[in-house]
Amino acid sequence: MSETIIKIDIVDEMRDSYMEYAMSVIVGRALPDVRDGLKPVHRRVLYSMHEQGNEYNRPYRKSARVVGDVIGKYHPHGDQAAYDTIVRLAQDFSMRYQLVDGQGNFGSVDGDSPAAMRYTEIRLRRLAHDLMVDLEKDTVDFIPNYDDSLTEPTVLPTRIPNLLTNGSTGIAVGMACNIPPHNLTEVINAFLHYLDHRHTATVEDLMTHLPGPDFPTGGTIMGRRGIYEAYTTGRGIIPVRAKAHTETNKEDREAIIVTELPYMVNKANLIEKIAQLAREKKLEGISDLRDESDRKGMRIFIQVKRGENAEVVLSNLYKHTAMQSSFGIIMLAIVDKQPKILALPQILEFFLQHRIEVVTRRVRYELQQSEDRMHVLEGLMIALEHLDDVIELIRAAVDPATAEAGLMERFGLTKRQTKAILDLRLQRLTGMQQEEIRKEHISVGEAIRDFQDILMNEARVFSIIREETEEIQNRYGDERRTEITDDDGSILV
């Protein structure tokens, strides 16, 4: 069998093909979109659940069913990868604001594996619903899925600054992102300040409203310099400490109690590490160690030997274990299909631009719907003004087509208006029903004028954005979990 062999330069082929692969991973797999803060797999999971009606106010569904729908319709990759995504969206120690409501074993901070997808059940949380509200009102663009059989949104019309509230972590090709989660109340306060001072807001101004990250596992951020650098340049390193205090028992013996850990620190591994260091005599002053965590919260008990200083032991724990860890912030996200390192004001600006586009497109859609309805109502109003003539003409017609043609010719109606008249039920012709049609004609006219005014007035668009954002804050806002101190975390032993 003859073959056609094309000779090419391997250097050129590697450069071109690897670049294509790299951009595919960067844009299509590993990095979040600056507008909704989601990677494609997260967006597809949420959209698929939304399409299935798997909402927060509906019964749970088997995770396996959702995974099958996601990989079969939108995400042609491994089922385990899709399930791992769902699991993380449901973990309260991974997500500052969970987007999936899980029922069953979804793992633990000890590193326990979640149950298989055939056992667990899920549904969307209400917060996720607000990432997709108005999706059906032409607020975002849709593109064909991988086999052109369906369409999927390129971005979600979120009302929540999800890139900041939940953060994102991903390793692409030659680059990575590591955006920490933040407190929703504080993020929205910073966004509303930016909304009012769009061209003058500085990082210092914004940090009065958004002082720093807020991790789901709590902990203490040591110093503000790394936060400021990250918000200014898009990169920074922040030391995060476990929260611990000392207790003294009746026998006057001290113990260190750890109640919160740095983000993404495995509790079981930490306890094993402390035990190993104590056995190897690299950590002095520890006589007992046990995990007393229960449903009420985390509690790691570290007994201090008699005569030892608990503060010195604690300092050694910070120095030699993951009880103090560094979180390297890299605020990298996709902007116009290109990866970009972003400062805090830029992230807020891109989110604001997204909200302006979503609100404007929604108002245009509602205006079009109202104008279409007004067109029909104007035809009905003409029919009501000449009711007897209309009834007589319809009765005299031999078939619907004749009646339609007669109405169009006699009253100058369009085909849509004529169809609406012919579809009227007799009960709609009572005096009360006629009055309802007249009232609707007035209200739709007022709505059209209101929509047109919004589109011509940027201040009204901003007012709508503010109102909807404040509503999100009132519904989901909560207290900060991570403390921020001015101490830089330097360990002196």
**Residues designated catalytic:** 119
The first and second tokens of residue 237, run together, are: 């390193």
For residue 300, the cross-strand partners are 258, 291
The whole-angstrom separation of Cα 248 and Cα 264 is 30
In a 10 Å sphere around its CB, with 0-12 CB exposed, 13-18 middle and 19+ buried, how is residue 347 labelled?
buried
Task: Give the β-pairing of 220-222 and 483-485.
Answer: parallel
The whole-angstrom separation of Cα 161 and Cα 185 is 11
Nearest to 361 by CA among 454, 447, 466: 454
The whole-angstrom separation of Cα 87 and Cα 153 is 22
* Percentages (nearest 5) of helix, strand, coil residues in the chain: 50, 15, 35
Contact 481, 213 (CB under 8 A): no
Contact 107, 113 (CB under 8 A): yes
Torsion 139-140-144-149 (CA) sign:
negative
Helix (H, G, I), strand (E, B) or coil at 137: helix
Helix (H, G, I), strand (E, B) or coil at 335: strand
Q: Cβ–Cβ contacts within 10 Å for residue 34, how many?
A: 23
Give, for 124, the enclosing helix (H) or strand (E): strand 121-124
Residue type, 119: Y
Q: What is the DSSP string of 244-311?
A: EEEEE-TTS-EEEEEEE--TT--HHHHHHHHHHHHHTTSS-SEEEEEE--BTTB--EEEEEPTT--HH
Residues 6 or more apart from 3 whose CB is under 8 A from it?
none
The whole-angstrom separation of Cα 182 and Cα 17 is 38
